[in-house]
Structure 1
């Protein structure tokens, strides 16, 4: 039944329709707001997991980067740091970064021989001349090219390159010559390029997971290993082996690997934050790592490690030089990358 007020006739049905329609309009008009708010408040979990030693410059830098991501994102990124193999061994973490069970890890491009052999050339012995050569490659167009290849073929982006320094031989017995190296059981990563390198030198390369090296030394499964100063100190391998041969045979760049799908799913501002802050933090990491190398070396000598250079070190390079042609023959796609590395020496 209609009502009249001030000469205006209002039908009850029309009144309800108008009221409900207005309410619906308000709901529809504001319905996007909760969605926008939810998007703004969404947290993006970022598990940063790696196998680097506690207390090393690279681990400290990942800890710093974790804080930077949390703070500068205003909490929108929930970065969590798991160092020293807490979430798995090196191989598991590399695979996890590819498939997205973790978002970030650190690992050498040399792990990618099966799918991206052109970037795995970093694992070839003596391919890096010195730190200046490293910087020309990784901080220039080649470093960007390697990241693009990794993204296309493995599903991770190298947002920057951390480092742990040159690697040396640590053994239970003195090794000053290749003759003394002959037959030595050396732990190596589970990668063919590393196995082939040590075989050419006459050693007995023994592939083992990274985390098993201390026990393998103590039980005699291996006679030695090869690593950087910080890892030898951090994992206390010096307790089991006291002889270090300064070979400088590998400089293993630790690519900061970010799962590409996770990175692409971030809002533009957060994606920029991840990339920019990585370059900021790990530029400092490289500087600190190099500054502390001498300090770490001195500490190892203080722990009783005896260091020496091989008396026939030129022959170490000569006898392994064929690995470049052999690798390029096996992976023709890698030949241009090897040439680029050598051109910058």
Structure 2
């Protein structure tokens, strides 16, 4: 017959074995629970459905869903489905969405030195090779870190919509025909200043309002890339395009930094790595298909007007003072402009 002491000892041993085993198992259970945690990744932007940029975002979402084996749930909302550009930018900063895209020039108010990388002021980028020397090297990495510090988003990669051109209801072929034209521009000071210097009547409007503004006469034209003109069917309201190549717009792929930091390291690196992979392909595709996009515009009735080199030189000369004006925002901005131009 067991004594009372022996009984207590046996009960204590069983209790220790049970609780001890549970304690030892807890880290493994927590690890498995963490491994199964699903991280929702909302990607929302204002790019046209069917454009190379939108297609790249869909590939990014698809690859992340597959490679993460469900740990990342990437959801893609193109063409302003979750709001206009300003709403999407703010959402990516505060984390109501996790990713969007826009030109670095959209950070003009918060970090003007970043805005210079978005083609501001116009004619800063000479060609696509110049863009690559700037954004795919140390300067591109520096811009991403500035964005992380000042805006709460990390530029994990750079896509592009490419060079922008003038689309109008009447032909715009030189400074004389540009005079007084009500041209839609992004809601940023530097764009207004650029077109004012050229004699146009810049009209800031949200991206999503351009078709209706053309149809009602609020604007006479706009400036954009070929893919967007096709995708949003702006050519239905304005049938004259001039390949001015005045502004190259890189598109920073922006991810909320706090969300990235909340991921297990291997998933954070997956988000970054797949973005670099996919948007390198996007840049190649965008450049390869730009010529065909112009041919497609011709096929739907758009008239293409020549833009001679001497006329481009006049536009560049008229807007040259904007480099000094924009650079005066801060010493860092002036320094960045100088670095970009030096690589041209």
TM-score (norm 2): 0.96
2:123 to 121, 126, 129: 126
2:152 to 147, 150, 155: 155
Matches within 5 A, 1:244-259: 244-259=241-256
Q: Secondary structure at the match of 1:95?
A: helix
Which residue of structure 2 aligns with residue 191 of structure 1? 188
Structure 1 position 275, deviation (Å):
1.2
Which residue of structure 1 aligns with residue 314 of structure 2? 315
1:241 to 238, 242, 250: 238
On the 8 A contact 1:175/1:310 being kept in 2, the answer is no
Q: Which runs of 4+ in 1 moved over 6 A?
A: none
- For structure 2, the residue ranges without an aligned partner over 5 or more in a row are none
Cα distance between partner residues in 2 of 1:197 and 1:29: 66
Which residue of structure 1 aligns with residue 177 of structure 2? 180
Cα distance between partner residues in 2 of 1:271 and 1:196: 39
Which residue of structure 1 aligns with residue 70 of structure 2? 75
Which residue of structure 1 aligns with residue 291 of structure 2? 294
Cα distance between partner residues in 1 of 2:329 and 2:10: 82
Structure 1 position 10, deviation (Å):
7.1
Which residue of structure 2 aligns with residue 210 of structure 1? 207
On the 8 A contact 2:157/2:253 being kept in 1, the answer is yes
On the 8 A contact 2:112/2:329 being kept in 1, the answer is no
Cα distance between partner residues in 2 of 1:288 and 1:210: 23
Q: CA RMSD in A?
A: 1.3
Task: Map Cα deviations across residues 80-108 of structure 1 (whole Å, 9 max, x no partner).
Answer: 11111111101111111111111111111
Q: Secondary structure at the match of 1:183?
A: coil
Q: Secondary structure at the match of 1:78?
A: strand
Structure 1 position 139, deviation (Å):
0.7
TM-score (norm 1): 0.96
1:284 to 281, 286, 296: 281
Query: How many pairs does the alignment contain?
Result: 340
Name which one, 1 or 2, has greater alpha-carbon Rg: 1
Structure 1 position 119, deviation (Å):
1.1
Cα distance between partner residues in 1 of 2:140 and 2:236: 37
